[in-house]
């Protein structure tokens, strides 16, 4: 028994060398905050936005894209300087994040970050941890008068409009294809309902301090301690 860990569907330990890719959600998984909620705090709307986020992460909102559009609309007027302060003053890597990423890279795994959050933060986390692939959403920033303010909209990207659960799954599968590996050689870690589609494709699914629905479906649930507790299961 490993206190604070739930395991189903296999007998540990597994070998890290059996895997070639690890995919992480960002908000509340790789980092300690929900960025959209903290951005909303800058315009006094954190409570309103956080309630939508919580419902979406629990799987109580069927249309994730629409829920994100609603939340982003409430961010209108937030400045880039506000977001910079959130990054420097509030955002931290969750415990064990660096150790787990380093261990995976040392074992030859590539690292993917897929997020329903925003490139403003995922690009910085990518650079900080040396992550190989990312997919997330782009916040539209006003140019001209009031430049440097959010418009309350997102920018469409070549792959589509919003990184939701379906897009996370698609990016995991595309990355596996690019690497010439099977999805069974991938590990996927997340905490919310929008992580379940990619977790369902991976050879090993890991819930980190997750919502009940996600814990129930994951092969490993880390309910106490840091991300690096996965290394007690996969060595």
What range does the domain containing 207 cover? Answer: 5-232
Number of domains in the chain: 1
Rounded distance, CA 234 to CA 205, Å?
A: 12
Q: What is the pLDDT of residues 84-143, one digit of tens each?
A: 999 999 999 999 999 999 999 999 999 999 999 999 999 999 999 999 999 999 999 998
- Is the sign of the CA dihedral 158, 180, 220, 111 positive or negative? negative
Q: β-strand 110-118 against 220-222: which pairing, if any?
A: unpaired
Q: β-strand 204-208 against 186-190: which pairing, if any?
A: parallel
DSSP state of 223: -
Cis peptide before 67 (omega within 30 of 0): no
Task: Kindly tell me the burial class for residue 144, based on how many C-beta atoms sit within 10 Å of its own C-beta (0-12, 13-18, 19 or more).
Answer: exposed
Catalytic residue among 18, 27, 41, 82: 27
Q: What is the pLDDT along the chain (235 residues), one digit of tens a residue?
A: 689 999 999 999 999 999 999 999 999 999 999 999 999 999 999 999 999 999 999 999 989 999 999 999 999 999 999 999 999 999 999 999 999 999 999 999 999 999 999 999 999 999 999 999 999 999 999 987 778 999 999 999 999 999 999 999 999 999 999 999 999 999 999 999 999 999 999 999 999 999 999 999 999 999 999 999 999 999 9
Residues 6+ apart with CB under 8 A from 169: 197, 198, 200, 201
Which CATH number does the domain housing residue 86 bear? 3.40.50.1000
106 token code pair = 């040392």
Q: β-strand 186-190 against 5-7: which pairing, if any?
A: unpaired
Rounded distance, CA 113 to CA 94, Å?
A: 14
Task: Please count the residues of the chain.
Answer: 235
Catalytic residue status for 25: yes
Catalytic residue status for 156: no
Residues 6+ apart with CB under 8 A from 174: none
Helices (H), the chain: 35-41, 46-57, 64-73, 80-89, 97-106, 119-129, 165-179, 196-201, 212-217
Catalytic residue among 25, 82, 191, 228: 25
């Amino acid at each position: 028994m490993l206190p604070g860990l739930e395991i189903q569907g296999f007998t540990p330990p597994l070998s890290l060398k059996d895997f070639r890719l690890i995919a992480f959600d960002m908000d509340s998984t790789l980092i300690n905050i929900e960025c959209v909620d903290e951005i909303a705090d800058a315009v006094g709307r954190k409570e309103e936005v956080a309630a939508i986020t919580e419902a979406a992460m629990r799987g109580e909102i069927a249309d994730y894209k629409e829920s994100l559009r609603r939340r982003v609309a409430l961010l209108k007027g937030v400045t880039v300087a506000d977001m910079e302060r959130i990054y420097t003053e509030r955002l931290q890597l969750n415990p064990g994040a660096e150790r787990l990423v380093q261990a995976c890279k040392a074992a030859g795994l590539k690292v993917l970050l897929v997020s329903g959050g925003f490139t403003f933060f995922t690009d910085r986390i990518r650079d900080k941890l040396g992550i190989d692939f990312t997919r997330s959403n782009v916040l539209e920033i006003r140019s001209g008068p009031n430049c440097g303010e959010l418009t309350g909209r997102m920018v469409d990207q070549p792959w589509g409009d919003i990184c939701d659960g379906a897009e996370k799954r698609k990016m995991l599968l595309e990355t596996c294809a690019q690497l010439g590996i099977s999805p069974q050689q991938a590990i996927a870690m997340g905490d919310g309902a929008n992580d379940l589609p990619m977790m369902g494709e991976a050879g090993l699914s890991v819930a980190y301090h997750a919502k009940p629905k996600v814990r129930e479906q994951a092969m490993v649930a880390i309910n106490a301690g840091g991300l690096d507790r996965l290394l007690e299961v996969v060595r």
